[in-house]
Amino acid sequence: MDQQEIAKSAAMRMRVSQADGTPLYLQLVNQLKYLMASGRLRPGGELPPIRVLAEKLVINPSTVARAYRELEVERLVEKRSTNGTFVAEAESPFAAGEQRRILANRVDALLVEAKQFRVSTLQVIELVQERDSVLMEGEWVK
Amino acid sequence: MTDVIKIEGLTRKFGEKAALQNVSLTLQKGKVLGLIGENGAGKTTLIKHILGLLNAQEGTVRVFGLDPVEDPAGVLGSVGYLAEEDGLPGWMRVHELQRFYQGFYPAWDQRYAEELRERFNIDRRATIKQLSKGQRARVGLMAALAYRPDLLVLDEPSSGLDPIVRREILTSIVRTVAGENRSVLFSSHLLSEVELVADDVAMIRGGEILFCDSLDAVKQSHRRITLRFHSDRTAAPEITDAFGWEGFGQEWTCLFSGHGPTFEANANLAGAEILEQQWLTLDEIFLARSPTEVQHV
């Protein structure tokens, strides 16, 4: 699969839920941001056409259009003359902020768990550094 | 933007009982309007006026700018209608029904009708009365869609149907507005479905329209809000537009319907700050706006 198809299929696997009350367009915006921040949607990748995604998710096409517009305003995606919507090429400060936010959530979860195990923050940092060097050497230890 | 449906000041009485009371409502071209309300609130009566089956006693009803009672051919020729209880002739076979409709609607697209029939997996030789409720709904949907009407009207389309048929109906709504800028009015008590596909929402209760606005605006103006008061409280606070209070001590949660900044100012005046705001689902908004005995659970 080329970059375009990867981007499309990742976006097509999005889900919306009416259970938590968050407006649907915001749910789409958040998920697309997550896909971008996690690298599953790479710069230059094309998002699914509005109509296709709307039919897939069974939601109003204007909701998808609204989500794309929102991302366009934040310069995370760009419209091209061909009518398609693409992940922006430029490294955007928003993407970096989003990455930070996602990482912060993981760190929070890690710290909570460490507290429960009575492991100090200093010990956690040491463990992070240790794991980092292990990963850098390419040795995957279980 | 052109108005496909424009209703102004519509009142309808059956005997002494007002079924519709000063109803005003607009559906713009290319939009999906969800009509929500309890059984007996007046949804079907309203739809009957749009189809020209009932005459407006007071007020005006315009569909494509025409009066549906005076010009039924001009209106109904461009309206696809699916009722909760299908009125399909039970003795007809599916392919006979297609020919029957073809005679009525010059714009009937037989190839599209066949495409829909195959997608819905309906035997063309089956008689209507042999079909299950779900299959009959699919036939009704085929009949409502096959002449590509500019306005699709669905009255409680999901009622009593399984999730697969309901999804097909919703998909049809999405397709109708997606490609060709046609419009949809649908009434439903399944608010999660309305929330998925509607641009605008009209809530009707006791024959009156409580609100008719974009789904977005409706969601913006309803929240669940948690407040922290500067000192302990023994009784629920009173703040304009807030109700359904729950809590104790300094932390209290309410449902809120109105203008956010005004609420925040009022909360500050009452000696509280906003801790948290949550979105409400359309279901929760509906409950919040329903009579008080439902509110205080």
pLDDT value of position B297? 41
Q: Is B174 on the interface with A (CB under 8 A)?
A: yes
pLDDT value of position A122? 92
Whether pLDDT at A101 is above 90: no
Yes or no: say if B140 and B87 are a contact pair by the CB < 8 Å rule.
Answer: no
Whether pLDDT at B179 is above 90: no
Q: Which tens digit of pLDDT belongs to each residue from B71-84?
A: 988 898 899 999 87
Q: Kindly state the average pLDDT of the residues A70-91.
A: 84
Highest mean pLDDT among A18-32, A54-68, A70-84, A96-110: A54-68
Q: Is B277 on the interface with A (CB under 8 A)?
A: no
Percent of chain B with pLDDT over 70: 97
pLDDT value of position B296? 43
Whether pLDDT at A141 is above 60: no
Grade residue B159 by pLDDT with cuts at 50, 70 and 90: confident
Whether pLDDT at A11 is above 60: yes
B231 — phi, psi (to 5°)? -135, 165
Question: B83 vs B117, B144, B148, B154, B157, CA distance in Å?
Answer: 18, 10, 17, 6, 7
Q: Which tens digit of pLDDT belongs to each residue from B185-225?
A: 999 988 989 999 999 999 999 999 999 999 999 998 999 99
Whether pLDDT at A56 is above 80: yes
Per the CB < 8 Å rule, is A54 touching B216?
A: no
- Tell me the chain A residues in contact with residue B175 when contact means C-beta distances shorter than 8 Å: 55
A6 — phi, psi (to 5°)? -60, -45
Yes or no: say if B140 and B81 are a contact pair by the CB < 8 Å rule.
Answer: no
pLDDT value of position B108? 93
Per the CB < 8 Å rule, is B279 touching A59?
A: no
- Tell me the chain A residues in contact with residue B174 when contact means C-beta distances shorter than 8 Å: 54-55, 58-61
Q: Which tens digit of pLDDT belongs to each residue from A66-80?
A: 999 999 998 889 988
Q: Is A23 on the interface with B (CB under 8 A)?
A: yes
In whole angstroms, what is the distance from residue B180 CA to residue B196 CA? Answer: 19
pLDDT value of position A91? 63
ipTM over 0.85: no
